[in-house]
Amino acid sequence: MSAVIEVENLRKSYGGTVAVDDVSFTVAQGEIFGILGRNGAGKTTTVECLVGLRAPDRGRIRVLGRDPMRDHAELTRWVGVQLQDSRLPERLRVGEAMRLYQSFYSDPADPEELLAQLGLAGRERTPYGRLSGGQRQRLAIALALVGRPRIAVLDELTTGLDPHARRDTWELIAGVRAAGVTIVLVTHFMPEAERLCDRIAVIDAGRVLVTGTPAELIEHAGRPTLEDAFVALTGRTS
Amino acid sequence: MTTLTLTELKLFLREKSGPAFGVGLPLLLLIIFGNLPFYNERRTDLGGLTLLDTYVPILVAFALGMLALNVLPPVLAGYREKGVLRRLRTTPVGPVRVLAAQLIVMLLTAAVAVATLLLVARFAFGVVLPRQMAGFLLTTLLAALALTAVGLLVTAAAPGGRAANALGAVVFYPLVFLGGLFLPIPVMPAMLRHISQATPMGAAVTAMQDATNGRWPHWLALVTLLAWAAGAAVAAARLFRWE
């Protein structure tokens, strides 16, 4: 399995605040890679550097062998992104949003099929402003996948979803991976990481604490579950 | 790009406030002024024209200003605030094309507004069409560019949709005053008239009034519009952030 994402010694600060201090990891073709960390650990900044929304202060990033900043235009064709805190115009309808994003790509997926898989069938005419939080979340996932990306970067995949929708979404993601798509999953929801991720990097205070399979992390921390392992790894009393 | 422009157009029409302020309001003002006898008297201080004759160019500039300063900035600043532009940066089209699509929608609406104003004034109220039509249209285009550039500067300077709304209005009202909406430029005190000529709205209205009377607009007015277009566009580009 060849590496499709390589991050080496990434550092990024805003003014005086260091968001990412020193992060390195590689993601292999076709795997689901989890980035775990507490709020403010540097997960989102790492992802933003990965998709070329922010220039790193230091370090080297390669996505499909390209530089996310320099080769940004080319990479947008191959990398589908679900961002935190990114909304759509209130009056844009679900079907219109899908057709709009579909028009950006040369070989898109079938929007109706995607909407059906995400439980949004029959919602085509609903304006974005009238969707529930969970529906917006699922639409964002659909938009990330509509371009048939080779890599999908999903920030907070199932935040705000009810248990049923969450399980359906997990199934969809597993299916997308089975089709050969590499997935980077940012989360602080442990059952999700345990269920989906092949490997996980635990980030804390802008640094990678440990990388490994869920089983390896549990063993490493000497705790019964991934959640216990995570709390033990990232627990600071300060 | 076609899907993007059509989508933006649909959203613009669905929002209703854009067409209402950009086309409806100037038209409403024209209809009100046109029905007041006071506006239809020939006046020696206006060179034998009626007040309504001089108001058509003012209403054209008013419509352009409405779209550029009160409609465009809240939409774009709102897109930035909501992360719409940020999300688009991760797609092959990028956010620049959304900007372009918005400008196309604004330009189309402006064309509809100008055509409606001229035709209603002509056929409902007997106001003659601009005698120097090429000069009038050139001025309209330059005025649209200048005001849009100022609108983009407002968008760049405002942190969010609401702030853009407020800042747009703060810029708009002094500009339409200097454009002669409340006091026609020819009867302004000399000092005010000079200030007016330096603003995009004042320069546009003066040039359009020249063209209405059959004269080619004074080059100084056209250069003033070009300077505003270029200056504000450069400043906006420097200040603009996608998120």
Q: Rounded CA gap, B103 and B28, in Å?
A: 24
Residue A222: per-residue pLDDT: 84
**Looking at residues B191-206, what average pLDDT do you find?**
95
**Regions of chain A with pLDDT less than 50:** 237-238
The residues facing A183 across adjacent strands are: A32, A152
Q: Is A146 helix (H, G, I), strand (E, B) or coil?
A: coil
Give tens-digit pLDDT for B6-39. 999 999 999 888 999 999 999 999 999 999 888 8
Token look-up 């020939």 returns B42
Q: Is A76 on the interface with B (CB under 8 A)?
A: yes
For tokens 């352009």, what's the residue? Answer: B64
Taking the CA of residue A104 and the nearest CA in chain B, the distance in Å comes to: 6
Classify residue A85 as left (phi > 0), alpha (psi -120 to 50) or beta. left
Check CB contact of A77 with chain B, cutoff 8 Å. Answer: yes
Nearest to A146 by CA among A187, A192, A110, A106: A110
Which chain A residue lies closest to B15 (C-alpha atoms)?
A91
Whether B14 and chain A come into contact, CB under 8 Å, resolves to yes
Write the DSSP assignment of chain B as a string of letters. Answer: -HHHHHHHHHHHHHH-HHHIIIIIHHHHHHHHHHT-GGGGSEEGGGTTEEHHHHHHHHHHHHHHHIIIIIIHHHHHHHHHHHTHHHHHHTSSSTTHHHHHHHHHHHHHHHHHHHHHHHHHHHHHH-PPPPSSHHHHHHHHHHHHHHHHHHHHHHHHH-SSHHHHHHHHHHHHHHHHHHTTSSS-GGGS-HHHHHHHHHSHHHHHHHHHHHHHTTPPPPHHHHHHHHHHHHHHHHHHHHH----
Please state, in angstroms and rounded to a whole number, the distance separating the CA atoms of residues A167 and A36. Answer: 19
Is B233 an 8 Å CB contact of chain A? no
Task: Tell me what pLDDT residue A236 has.
Answer: 62
Query: Which of A53, A100, A143 minimises the CB distance to B86?
Result: A53
Q: CB–CB of A92 and B15 under 8 A?
A: no
Q: How far is B92 from chain A (nearest CA, A)?
A: 5
Q: Which amino acid is at A128?
A: Y
Computed over every residue of chain B, the mean pLDDT equals 93
pLDDT at residue A237, rounded to an integer: 44
Residues 89-108 of B with CB under 8 A from A: 89-94
CA-wise closest residue to B136 among B67, B65, B221: B221
- Which pTM value belongs to this model? 0.90
Pick from B133, B158, B5: which is nearest to B77 by CA? B158
Alpha-carbon distance values, A106 to A4, A75, A139, A149 (Å): 21, 13, 20, 11
| Rg value, chain A, Cα | 18
Packing angle between helix B200-212 and helix B190-198, nearest 10 degrees? Answer: 100
Residue B146: exposed, middle, or buried by beta-carbon count in 10 A (0-12, 13-18, 19+)?
Answer: buried
CB B30 within 8 A of CB B120: yes
- What percent of chain B clears pLDDT 90, i.e. is strictly above it? 81
Nearest to B69 by CA among B197, B164, B206: B164
Candidates A99, A86, A61; CA nearest to A184 is A61
For B146, half-sphere exposure in the C-beta direction (CA atoms, 13 angstrom radius) is 25
* Interchain CB contact of A87 with B (< 8 Å): yes
| Closest to B77 in 3D by CA, of B93, B91, B98 | B98
The whole-number pLDDT of residue A61 equals: 96
- B114 vs B116: CA distance, rounded Å: 5
Supply φ then ψ for residue B142, to 5 degrees.
-65, -40
Give the SS3 label for residue A49: helix
Give the residue, B106 or A160, on which the prediction is more confident: B106
Nearest to B175 by CA among B149, B154, B195: B195
Token readout for A72 is 């940004």
**CA–CA distance, B57 with B161 (Å, rounded to integer):** 30
Q: What is the CA radius of gyration of chain B?
A: 18
N residues, chain B: 243
A147 shares contact with chain B (CB less than 8 Å): yes
Question: Which residues lie below 8 Å from residue A96, measured CB to CB, with a gap of 6+?
Answer: B7, B10
Does the structure show a pLDDT above 90 at B88?
Answer: yes
**Alpha carbon of B182 to those of A170, A212, B205, B211: distances in Å?**
63, 72, 13, 21
Residue A53 three-state SS: coil
3-state SS class at A218:
helix
pLDDT score for B174: 95
Q: Are the beta carbons of A86 and B94 separated by less than 8 Å?
A: no
Phi, psi of A16 (to 5 degrees): -95, -10
Cα angle, residue A194 at apex, residues A189 and A197 outer, rounded to 5°? 100
This complex has an ipTM of 0.91
Judge whether B185 and B211 are in contact, CB under 8 Å. no
Chain B interface includes A130 (CB < 8 A): no
